[in-house]
Amino acid sequence: MNWFEAIILGLFQGLTEFLPVSSSGHLELGKYLFGIDAESNFYFSIVVHGATVLSTVLVLWTEIYGLIKGTLKFRMNDEMKYVLKIIVSMIPVAIAGIYLNEIGETYFTGNMISLGIQFFITALVLFLTLFIKPKEKPLGFFDAFIVGLAQVFAILPAVSRSGATIATGMMLGIKKEEIARFSFLMVLVPVIGANLMELKSGTISTESTPLFVIILGFITAFISGYFACKWMINLVKKGNLVWFAVYSVAIGIFSILLGLHVI
């Protein structure tokens, strides 16, 4: 991987981590187009995912600090209840991480036809928000669990984590701004945990990825992720995700055509 490819892939990761179009799917697509070996450059993927985690923390620092401060009072206040909802949302993905991790890894093999089908799944979930519009309500514990279940499907590369969780929340009737912020906060611990597990595994090779290339990817992903996170929160307030669904269909068709060697 060279510096130009690192910048492009960093942009893919940063912009699409928060937009409901799947960052992992775009990273896989980018690696395929550039002819980059996914396994030997897996460390790069972990680093750029870490960059977007940091950008999330920066954008939502006020909320995160408030939650930490309120939770440390050790009483059942609003902050403690919110943290408990985040913990509840993490239960399904924690179980999936233990039992379904190998399934997710199987789909990270550069199979563009499979990737295209997964983009279609993202599009379908987003399209459903046009037709399922219940009365708005606050986020409850059961809602948090259902949104956590939706996150499990993001074990597949091109199923958008933010798309699945935000769309599910909207279809449950959760207030749009609330579900956007909850979606970004609920994934922080699982993503950090997954990255640490990969680092601990000792199976990561950096031979084909120079350090300065990794740093370039990190910086690009961090900056683009910061602005994408802020944009997405404001965008969800309007409640219209249809254009992201249309884009997901288009990129899905493109991926399948690549897999069929039509283009």
pLDDT of amino acid 46: 79
pLDDT of amino acid 95: 85
What's the CA gap between 248 and 243, in Å, rounded? Answer: 9
What's the CA gap between 69 and 160, in Å, rounded? Answer: 31
pLDDT of amino acid 191: 75
Token pair belonging to 253: 């068709």
- Give tens-digit pLDDT for 138-168: 999 999 999 999 998 888 888 998 899 999 9
What per-residue string of b and e applies to 196-213 under the rule 16 or more CB within 10 Å gives b? eebeeeeebeeeebeeeb
Long-range contacts of 146-149 (CB under 8 A, 24+ apart): 146/172, 147/89, 147/172, 147/174, 147/179, 147/182, 147/183, 147/186, 148/88, 148/89, 148/90, 148/91, 148/92, 148/93, 148/186, 149/92
Neighbours of 240 (CB within 10 A): 14
Check: CB of residue 43 under 8 Å from CB of residue 81: no
What's the CA gap between 45 and 214, in Å, rounded? Answer: 9
Check: CB of residue 224 under 8 Å from CB of residue 14: yes
pLDDT band at residue 177, thresholds of 50, 70 and 90?
Answer: confident
- List, in sequence order, the alpha helices (H) in 101-210: 101-106, 112-128, 141-152, 161-172, 176-186, 188-201
* pTM to 2 decimal places: 0.85
pLDDT band at residue 5, thresholds of 50, 70 and 90?
Answer: confident
What's the CA gap between 239 and 144, in Å, rounded? Answer: 19
119: helix, coil or strand?
A: helix
- Give tens-digit pLDDT for 64-89: 999 999 999 989 999 999 999 999 99
Token pair belonging to 4: 């130009």
What's the CA gap between 82 and 17, in Å, rounded? Answer: 23
CA nearest to 27, candidates 51, 50, 11, 4: 11
Angle among Cα 220, 104, 179 to the nearest 5 degrees reads: 60
What's the CA gap between 31 and 3, in Å, rounded? Answer: 13
Token pair belonging to 142: 């059961």
pLDDT band at residue 104, thresholds of 50, 70 and 90?
Answer: low
**DSSP codes of every residue in 203-234:** ----TTS-HHHHHHHHHHHHHHHHHHHHHHHH
174: helix, coil or strand?
A: strand
